[in-house]
Each structure stands twice: as structure tokens, then as C-alpha cells.
Chains A and B, each alone.
Chain A
Amino acid sequence: MLTQLSTNQDPFENRNRGTRKCRRKKMGLVGKGFAIVAADTSAVHSIMLHKNNEDKIMLLDSHKLVAASGEPGDLISFEFGGLIRVEYVQKNVSLYKFRNGIPLTTAAAANFTRGELATALRKNPYSVNILMAGYDNESGASLYYIDYIATLHKVDKGAFGYGSYFSLSTMDWHYRSDMSVEEAIELVDKCILEIRSRLVVAPPNFVIKIVDKDGARDYAWLQDVTTAAV
């Protein structure tokens, strides 16, 4: 499997890795009073699959989900870099809650994350793409798209990775802003089906998590392949 080298000259491409796209697929969408995030569960380094049931969607607090992915590269610490950043954000969100007695809103948590990424961008950039979903009592469910160069945008549907080429188009066609949970899950299934059918490096397994007024929790683990027992 050959990875293509990109020819762009932007100053943030200081590694000899391939394109900024990665094989870690994540997507999310907002429905009526809830937000869903789905991610693949393969932990891959170069050509080897370390584990295929890795949970890449972390709980930021009771009503927030963060799906974060690092880029494939030469260094293994990369991926750890991504997860460590999410833990850092997690702890800061908790700290705010302890200090002030009320939890951060999703918008505030997203802006804090963006701020951290933006500050690090010109010093020690780490390439983590983030989809942050959350539920606030005042404003309902929301989804935030945060790029690896700290571009923040509130979206109804978002996706990262090679799979985004397929899932964004599928979601553009079928998405309605007042979807029920069942309809949203059907749409996520359609996206996953599309990814599995058309992406040559399609990951076999996915995890879907949901956040609504009752909190953030696992919804489903879709398994196509189980690892051999060793």
C-alpha cells in the first residue's frame, strides 16, 4: 500500500508524511436534541493493525464527547500526542467545573480546545483533528469541527479522514435537521456502508456514541472482524 506524498508547501508540513488525510475515520451529526459521533476502531501503525477495538471517542465530561485522531506518520508518539491532548482538555474542563461550580458549555470547551491548538500551532504543532459533540440545557445538542490547524466551526454534520469524501456526500443528501435517533443511526449506517464498499483501506469496525440530555454514552460497536485470540 503506497501513500502519496503531497506537494504543497505550506509551512506546517514539516514532516515527511503523506497527505494530511489519514485513515482514521470520524464523523458526527446533530439531530433533534442529540448528537452522534462515530469513529473507526482500528489502531494502525504503518502496515500493522495493533488492535481493532480501540475507542477513539473520549468523554470530556458527562455531556460531551470528543473524537480525536492523529495523523499517520513516522513517529509512534504522534498518536499518543493526540490522546494526551484530549486528556489535557478533559482535565481542564473538570477543573473549570470544580472552580466555578458549573460545567463548561460545549461552545466554551470547543473554543478552549481551539485556543490550545492555535497556541501550539506556531511552536510545537500537533496534528489532531477533533469532532466535539455536546449537549447543553440552554442550547441543545451541538457539534464542533476543529481542524488540526485550529480552524473551529460549528456544524450540523462533519467528518474527517479519507472516509469524509464518502460520508459527507451521503450526509448532505439524507440529513435533515430534526432527525430522530433511529433515522440518524440509519444515516450513520449508510455512511459506514459507503465507506466499507468504496474505500480501499476501509476499516472493518466502528464505534458509535451518542450525547443527549441524559448524557454521553456508547450507542453501538459495529464489528465486522474480530481479532484472533492470542
Chain B
Amino acid sequence: MSIFEYNGSAVVAMVGKNCFAIASDRRLGVQLQTIATDFKRISKIHDRLFIGLSGLATDVQTLYQRLVFRHKLYQLREERDMKPETFASLVSAILYEKRFGPYLCQPVIAGLGEDDKPFICTMDSIGAKELAKDFVVSGTASESLYGACEAMYKPDMEAEELFETISQALLSSVDRDCLSGWGGHVYVVTPNEIKERILKGRMD
């Protein structure tokens, strides 16, 4: 079993009309054993920027702490929040710093940029950015997620429809992956509000 599959994870982000949604599963496992069913993989960097980290849980926590630190410093120096594109470059640089002893996680970054234009991207564990216009996925369930998202995604969805789509895509994909699941955690972010919801799926 690969070290990326040690804890099990599934993260997906989708673009809608002036909004985005980011969702993850909630399982924290140690190979075949489930330790917790309320593990948080998605974290808020600021009101219009979220990062979801899949992969080894210890590196998820370490990397998140480093990124929050860097963003807080940025806020002190620049007196404003980081743009999503800038943040993605920051994450990429931090990951590549550890090129020969990497953080074993794959981030999914989702944010609202200038003019409320949604921005999503993912990268591998050494910081190779992959921008997308529609959706990005990562984690042990990534292959199922690619299929489900490709089938269910439509451009320019409103917030409610986007929530339905991303939830169905997440739940149906993690049902095919034994290492992720135990519910879902979905954030739907519009310029005015952040809606956080917990999904109850197949609890196995």
C-alpha cells in the first residue's frame, strides 16, 4: 500500500457561476482501521479562499499550519488577503522546497478572485499546478471522482445546484473506495456567504 493511501481521503472542488464548492470525505483511517469519522480536510485560509488537503494526515496538518502562518504574515505585510492565484503559487513553492523529501499530500485550492471569478487548482505532492475551468479532484478516490464529476458537471451552475452536484459526485465516488467516505463535508462559497454542510452518506 502506498503511503498516500495510508489514511484515505477524497477532495473535490467545482466551479459555478460566481461561486465555487469544495468538498471532502470525513474518514480518518490507519490502513484498514477507521479511527475517526469527523476529520477535517478542508480549511479556510480567508473568507474567499479554501484549501483541501488529501494524503497523509500528519502532513495535511503540518502543511496547513505552515500555510496559515505564511498567509498571516502576508496579511500583516500587505494588509490584505492573498489572491487565490498567488496562494496557489505559494503552495507550489512550499511543496517544491521539499522536492527530495516531500510532504505527502495533494492540495486542492479553491477561491474567488478578482470580480468574484472562481478559481480552482490542484497540484501533486511536489507542487505541479494543474488549473482547471470546471473541477479538480484528489485523494484515494480520485479516479472515481474524475468519472462522477465529468458526468455530472455543467458549466455556470448556481450555488444550490452546484451543492447538489458536488455532493452527489462525492458520495457516489467514495462509495467505490474503501479508504474514504463516512460522510462528506461541503463548503459552497459565493461572494456574500459561505455555506458549510455535512453530508450523511453510506457510513462504511
Contacts and interface: CB of A to CB of B under 8 A. Distances in A.
Interface string B43-82: 0000000000000111001100000000000000000000
Contact of B35 (A9, A118, A155): A155
Nearest to A122: B101
Given A10-B6, A11-B3, A155 B36 contact: yes
A147 B36 contact: no
A150 B33 contact: no
Contacts of B1: 8, 10
A152 interface: yes
A153 interface: yes
Contacts of A153: 28, 35-36, 39, 57
A155 B30 CA distance: 15
Contacts of A121: 58
A150 B62 CA distance: 9
Contacts, number: 44
A164 interface: yes
Interface in A32-73: none
B34 to A, nearest CB: 8
B35 A150 contact: no
A151 B28 contact: yes
B7 interface: yes
Nearest to A165: B33
A113 to B, nearest CB: 13
Nearest to B40: A153
B35 A158 contact: yes
A121 to B, nearest CB: 7
Interface in A116-162: 118, 121-122, 145, 147, 149-153, 155, 158
7 contacts: A118-B61, A150-B61, A151-B58, A152-B61, A153-B28, A153-B35, A164-B33
Interface of A: 8-12, 114, 118, 121-122, 145, 147, 149-153, 155, 158, 164-165, 168
Interface of B: 1-3, 6-7, 28, 30, 33, 35-36, 39, 56-58, 61-62, 101
Q: What are the 5 closest A-B residue pairs judged by CB atoms, nearest first?
A: A10-B3, A151-B57, A150-B58, A151-B58, A149-B58
